[in-house]
Amino acid sequence: MMTDPASAIKKEAFQLIELQIDALRREGSLTPTDLADYHTRSEKITQLYRQLDQMAMTRSRMQLRTTRAS
């Protein structure tokens, strides 16, 4: 069974978001390593959502072309 690429991206993004939330819920201060990991995850989440946006725009363009061709 093939997984929809958008679903896989969303799943990865949600997992990273959960890790972000867990990091913020920890008691005490974040260590420099924690902060670096947080920043890296934040960048990855941004990248994943950009991919989703690009996929949505591509899908919209294809639907528009199909509608115009009909």
Look at 70 and 32; give whichever has higher pLDDT.
Answer: 32
Amino acid, res. 53: D
2 falls in which pLDDT band (50, 70, 90)?
low
Amino acid, res. 9: I
pLDDT of residue 12: 97
64 falls in which pLDDT band (50, 70, 90)?
confident
This prediction's pTM: 0.82
> How many angstroms separate the CA atoms of 36 and 49, rounded?
20
